[in-house]
Chain A
Amino acid sequence: MIAVLAILRESWLYLRSEMLFKVVMGLNVLVIVAYASISFDDTGISLFFGLTHVDSEYVRGGTQFARTLYLGIYSAVIVNFWLAWAASILALISTSSIFPSFLSEGSVELMLSRPTRRTTIFMTKYAGGLIFVMLQVGVFTLGAFLAAGWRVGEWDATIFLAIPLITLFYSYLFCINVFVGVITRSTLVALLATLLFWFGTFGIRTADDLVNHYVIVTESIEARTATRVAQLQKEHDDAVAAGDEKEAKNVAYWLTSPKEEHEQAQTTLGQLRPWAAMLSTLRVIMPETARTLGLLHRSLERDMDMTFQDLRSGRAFEDPEEAAGQDEFDAYWGSGQNQTDTDDERRRKRQRAFNQAEREAAETMIERENAIPAWRIIGKSLLFEALVLGLAIWIFRRRDF
């Protein structure tokens, strides 16, 4: 235990000596002050401690809108962009040298020639690197907690979930950094490899989301057009059976478009599904960086009537009954279809139907994301981290220095 504490203290001294650590801490304070400068009054939103004011009919002091917006800015903007991107890149730059520096000639001998086991040294050094992020996020989160309490009366301890979640998120990247650092003993290579891995996971996740989104959109169109085709086919068959040639010809004309749409949707699905399967498989083995951060967002909005997404999309300001009454699918492919529509009117209806399919797909995606249990997101990512670290430890234990 004394040895572990000694290594942790050494990590702390290292971080304290790093200029970037101080810079990031300073920037954290600035960001949190900027966050705390947002307030709400009877007429709208005040920014930079009253320097600027934005009038708003809805978002006012004491409203649910203000509460959702304020916490949403924290979880969806500050955490996702500042802590998860900018601050994490700065943290990676600072901590990338921990292992290469420790493994450098003349330094590593002093550590390995002690009674402490190599695995203990490795894991304690690793934990030391994560302390960097924990301290950063800890200070930041405390500031956000106080700001939310002060500005919207929301003393929500869930805000502190950011500490373990962002540390977890960072650890998924840091394990790659350490793995490459142990193999190459080069800070630069370790940093570049980590950034490459990070952008790789980002790319795979974005592509997977995008492909899945279009799979849902196309499936929806395929299902709707199939129903419409079946309906028109029956009308056509009935007309033929009744010997009404004119009606049969007329229905056959109207059948052409949904049939084409249906065939096109099937072709598109045939093309998208192999990609969706491949990307999903790739994603299975990758750590869930975005989903881990999303858990914070999910937890903060758990008991809210509206979400930050509702505010961003403008849905929060719509009349729910009016919104529910619109069915663009029905207007284009369903009973609302009017055979007297002009081509322009049909094009507009088609576009609105596709827009609705997109909106519904986005909602389905959010529902699917929210349905994934937290243990699965974290467990799978930790398994990945454990495998990478296990391999790094195996190499470190066997290596001669």
Chain B
Amino acid sequence: MPAAIQINDVHKTFRRGVKALRGVSMQVDPGQVFCLLGPNGAGKSTLVKILMTVIHASKISGTVLGKPIGHKPTLKRVGYLPERHRFPKYMTAEQALHFYGGLVCMRRKHRLLRIQQMLDLVGMSSWRKHKVGTFSKGMQQRVGLAQALLHDPELLLLDEPTDGVDPVGRRAIRDLILHLRSEGRTILINSHILAELESICDQLAVVVKGRVSLEGTVEDLTRGERRWIVQYRNVDLEWEDVAAESGPAGVRITLPGEDAGLAQPIIDRIRAAGGTITKVSQERESLEDLFMRALELAEDRDGATPGAAQGRDA
């Protein structure tokens, strides 16, 4: 099966010489949740906008759903939730969905059916006749998701989907994404809230200063970074050659490696000394750790502070 998104060497230089993308290449496989991470100004939104033909790339080659990037009819098969989107405030939720459904050439009968289904899905059915201008940020985000899903897209591009949404709403959106993945849809999420992505992300790419710093499945990227954690209290022990940190919950020992045998001598020593073991767990590198690692890699590579735009780079 061809990749849902395949891009090679994407460059974007804005007017006045601001370089937003400097050779981004990546592949999003079908049926997966692909997370695009990166600090503010790294070029993530620019990349998504290029895929949606909102921004013209300076140089690009690749495909979206098997068609060249920029092929307008293909966009019928793509759903998009822009960052900080704004609906016409004089429209009701229902009118807005009719409008955006019309723009992808959905017939009225089909629109009516899908609008009801999507408003139910995002929990906004009772607000269908209310003006979008009166909605909170979270409610607008839900309607935004409804419009992105309205035409039953194969590929979904979500730019900061949980922006302005409360914790309950965030969980609902996360569950919705998992549900969509289970239906076989491909989802590209652009976000900087790493905790949200951790449990739903299959593949990821970290973009720093217009370049992909790290890319792969979460499993692959964190394979070499597994560790055992042993936590205890009620005993005072001296440790050599292991990383031990004291905190309010007791002492926490981190043992790099995948082998469970690594923790056994530590556990034996604590027990022998009469200590109380409060936690023994295996952990892998968090997305936050991964993210920080990508930033360090970019810093080593470019010799500049990663993150937001500096000088003439965006």
Contact = CB atoms under 8 A, between A and B. Distances in A.
A10 B96 CA distance: 9
Interface string A108-135: 1111111111000000000000000000
Given A6-B98, A6-B99, A109-B49, A13 B105 contact: no
Interface residues of A, number: 28
B103 A400 contact: no
A10 to B, nearest CB: 5
Contacts of A7: 102-103
Contacts of A107: 85-88
B135 interface: no
A5 B98 CA distance: 11
B52 A112 contact: yes
Interface string B160-176: 00000000000000000
B100 interface: yes
Contacts of A106: 82-86
A109 B90 contact: no
Contact of A10 (B56, B74, B88): B88
Interface string B93-122: 001001111111111000000000000000
A155 to B, nearest CB: 39
Contacts of A116: 72, 103
A340 interface: no
A2 interface: yes
A396 interface: no
B76 interface: yes
A400 B104 contact: no
A376 interface: no
Contacts of B105: 2-3, 115
A13 B82 contact: no
Interface string A8-19: 011001101100
A401 interface: yes
Contacts of B55: 400-401
A47 B78 CA distance: 64
A105 interface: yes
B77 to A, nearest CB: 9
A246 interface: no
B112 to A, nearest CB: 14
B103 A401 contact: no
B260 interface: no
B106 to A, nearest CB: 7
B48 to A, nearest CB: 9
- Give the residue among B85, B99, B103 with the most A Cβ atoms within 10 A: B103
Nearest to B46: A400
Given A116-B103, A400-B56, A17 B90 contact: yes
A113 B88 contact: no
A302 interface: no
A332 B287 CA distance: 102
B308 interface: no
Given A109-B80, A109-B82, A3 B102 contact: yes
A104 interface: yes
A106 B132 CA distance: 14
Interface string A322-363: 000000000000000000000000000000000000000000
A398 B56 contact: yes
B98 A110 contact: no
Given A104-B86, A106-B85, A106-B86, A113 B107 contact: no
A7 B103 CA distance: 8
B91 interface: yes
15 contacts: A2-B105, A3-B103, A3-B105, A6-B102, A9-B98, A14-B88, A110-B100, A112-B52, A113-B52, A115-B72, A115-B105, A400-B14, A400-B55, A400-B56, A401-B49
Given A6-B99, A6-B101, A110-B147, 14 more contacts: A5-B102, A6-B102, A9-B99, A10-B91, A107-B88, A110-B100, A111-B103, A112-B53, A112-B54, A113-B78, A114-B104, A115-B72, A115-B76, A115-B103
